[in-house]
Amino acid sequence: MRGTPMPMNRALSREMLFFGVDKTPLFLYGLVCVLIIYVTRFTFPYALMGPAVFVFFHSIAVWGFKKDPKIMKVLASHFRYKGFYPPVSFARAKFNYKQKLSSIPAC
């Protein structure tokens, strides 16, 4: 029957987070922390900076993703269409479109 509501599990509509953070920033600051440990050549007092940086960035990222789990999709959309939508305060404002057409990303 068309239009019949069906129950859907709540887990299917949630964002997929690893350790409470989206995978892209987690891998980026995880890689930075591993590079810090590798560059310091595993010397004891300096290699502790890597886990400390990881804990710092991870706590900030978890806080941010608790506020809005879809922020990475919003930021990607913002950067993709930034040149397409003119920054004007209302619809009839004057805007030089010819100047901004070169900044529209190719899809």
Indicate whether 30 belongs to any domain: yes
Query: How much is the pLDDT for 94?
Result: 66
Indicate whether 74 belongs to any domain: yes
38: domain range? 17-85
Which of 80, 86, 79, 81 is closest to 100 using CA atoms?
Answer: 86
Query: How much is the pLDDT for 55?
Result: 94
Query: How much is the pLDDT for 80?
Result: 85
Q: Name residue 85's amino acid.
A: Y
Structure tokens at 105: 């990303």
Q: Is 33 helix (H, G, I), strand (E, B) or coil?
A: helix
Cα separation, 93 vs 47, in Å, equals 55
Indicate whether 71 belongs to any domain: yes
Residue 32 falls in which region: left (phi positive, over 0), alpha (psi -120 to 50) or beta = alpha
Query: pLDDT tens string for the chain (107 positions)?
Result: 677 887 878 777 777 788 888 888 899 999 999 999 999 998 988 889 999 999 999 999 999 888 888 888 888 888 888 777 766 666 666 666 555 555 555 55
55-to-77, 88, 90 alpha-carbon distances in Å: 28, 40, 43
How many separate domains does the chain show? 1
Indicate whether 69 belongs to any domain: yes
